[in-house]
């Protein structure tokens, strides 16, 4: 009923319609902090804003609901609306605390979302930047990399407790790792301040890892770089990131790959481009030259008679390999034409003689251009 009066979800959060998940989240976070009832006690306007912000985020963070909202607006969530998306914010139990855990879990408890029972915590994802040459991208390779990373402590098997001793259950949270606290008109779950979410406290820490359950080491990994890989590719090595805390799963290792620019070839997808300067006479009379291609072979390029600058000659299959296929792109040789310089007297005479013998047929492009130009100025002066 009050569909019309309801503010636009995107406007409520102050984001563009194309905002991605991260932008939504950060906008929500900022506003939620600002209008949080705890910060604005007794302010009904702030409370209303806070509800609006929560509602908007509740819908936009869910890709399905967001798609429905984008198509149908608020009508998407009215009773009996398309897709049966009824039961919006506050209806049916999904309340504030759910959202709060979602968003603030991370803020309050470090990596709240990743925590599992017993204080086990997933290790962080790691990033490794790797630069390869175009030749390496062509042939593919196995690269050995050394990654400083933390691994599970072997002395305590990751428990963090001195061998022979056991971690004890946290007295504050009873092992849950989280405590509930009343905030304004709803209650919030927080990471336990005593055990920092672990649910356990270690009285006798392991000497090797100081109770962390993991130690830092450099590991050697071999990474397979497939043929035809493109600049900007991310390779994910699952479970090769930082070790988890107290027996939690390891994070992932992401290799961010960049391909160094080549001195001769430019790449566009699987195709390669290169510029080759030829002499004016070769361009006019036709001829041949050889170039070395990425496979190390020499390829003969035929220049047809009367070749103009900018002409692209295609060498089929001489481009880059297509990733995960047996195909190859093409190599385009872009012709540039070098105008002769430092002419001898004899050369000058020959060219002057050539000039005298030239006609419309010898240079149709320029003849055409100048006659068009003339026509243009004639209409201007009318």
Is residue 229 involved in binding Zn ion (CB under 5 A)?
Answer: no
| Range 30-69, binding Zn ion (CB under 5 A) | none
Contacts of 45 (CB under 8 A, 6+ apart): none
Range in contact with Zn ion (rule: CB under 5 A) among 57-65, 201-209, 222-230, 259-267: 201-209
Choose among 242, 244, 255, 257: nearest CA to 148. 242
> CB-wise, 147 or 195, nearer to Zn ion?
195
> How many whole angstroms separate alpha carbon 106 and alpha carbon 112?
5
> How many whole angstroms separate alpha carbon 261 and alpha carbon 274?
12
Is residue 206 involved in binding Zn ion (CB under 5 A)?
Answer: yes
> How many whole angstroms separate alpha carbon 247 and alpha carbon 121?
7
Q: Contacting Zn ion (CB under 5 A), which of 24, 134, 188, 209?
A: 209
> How many whole angstroms separate alpha carbon 47 and alpha carbon 305?
79
> CB-wise, 208 or 262, nearer to Zn ion?
208
> How many whole angstroms separate alpha carbon 5 and alpha carbon 7?
6
Contacts 24+ apart (CB under 8 A), 356-364: none
Kindly state the tokens that stand for 62.
């869910």
CB of 98 vs Zn ion, minimal distance in Å: 21
CB of 172 vs Zn ion, minimal distance in Å: 4
Choose among 22, 23, 37: nearest CA to 188. 37
Range in contact with Zn ion (rule: CB under 5 A) among 78-86, 120-128, 195-203, 280-288: 195-203
Binding mask 152-191 for Zn ion (x = CB under 5 A): -x-xx-------------x-xx------------------
CB of 152 vs Zn ion, minimal distance in Å: 8
> CB-wise, 12 or 200, nearer to Zn ion?
200
CB of 155 vs Zn ion, minimal distance in Å: 5
Size of the site for Zn ion (CB under 5 A): 12
> CB-wise, 132 or 206, nearer to Zn ion?
206
Is residue 76 involved in binding Zn ion (CB under 5 A)?
Answer: no
> How many whole angstroms separate alpha carbon 15 and alpha carbon 25?
10
> How many whole angstroms separate alpha carbon 229 and alpha carbon 231?
7
Residues near Zn ion (CB under 5 A): 153, 155-156, 170, 172-173, 192, 194-195, 206, 208-209
């Amino acid at each position: 009923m009050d569909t019309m009066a309801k503010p636009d979800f995107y406007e409520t959060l102050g984001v563009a319609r194309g905002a991605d998940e991260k932008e939504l989240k950060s906008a929500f976070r900022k506003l939620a902090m600002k209008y949080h009832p705890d910060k604005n006690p007794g302010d009904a306007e702030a409370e209303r804003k806070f509800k609006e912000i929560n509602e908007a985020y509740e819908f936009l963070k869910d890709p399905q609901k967001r798609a429905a909202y984008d198509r149908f607006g608020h009508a998407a969530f009215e009773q009996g609306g398309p897709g049966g998306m009824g039961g919006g914010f506050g209806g049916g139990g999904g309340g504030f605390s759910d959202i709060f855990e979602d968003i603030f879990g991370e803020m309050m408890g470090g990596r709240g979302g990743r925590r599992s029972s017993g204080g086990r915590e997933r290790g962080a994802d790691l990033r490794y930047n790797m630069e390869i040459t175009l030749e390496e991208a062509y042939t593919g390779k196995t690269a050995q990399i050394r990654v400083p990373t933390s691994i599970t402590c072997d002395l305590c098997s990751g428990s963090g407790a001195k061998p022979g001793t056991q971690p004890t259950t946290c007295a504050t949270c009873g092992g849950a790792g989280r405590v509930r606290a009343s905030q304004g008109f709803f209650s919030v779950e927080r990471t336990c301040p005593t055990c920092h979410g672990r649910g356990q406290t270690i009285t006798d820490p392991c000497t090797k890892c100081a109770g962390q359950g993991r130690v830092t080491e450099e590991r050697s990994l071999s990474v397979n770089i497939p043929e035809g890989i493109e600049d900007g590719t991310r390779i994910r090595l699952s479970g090769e990131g930082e070790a988890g805390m107290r027996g939690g799963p390891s994070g992932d290792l992401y290799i961010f790959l960049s391909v160094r620019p080549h001195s001769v070839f430019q790449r566009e997808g699987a195709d390669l481009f290169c510029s080759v300067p030829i002499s004016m006479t070769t361009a006019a009379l036709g001829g041949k030259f050889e170039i070395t291609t990425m496979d190390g072979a020499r390829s003969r390029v035929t220049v047809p008679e009367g070749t103009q600058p900018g002409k692209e000659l295609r060498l089929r299959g001489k481009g880059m390999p297509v990733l995960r296929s047996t195909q190859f792109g093409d190599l385009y040789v872009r012709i540039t034409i070098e105008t002769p310089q430092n002419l001898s007297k004899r050369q000058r005479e020959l060219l002057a003689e050539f000039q005298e013998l030239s006609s419309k047929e010898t240079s149709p492009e320029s003849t055409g251009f100048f006659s068009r130009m003339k026509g243009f100025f004639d209409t201007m002066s009318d």
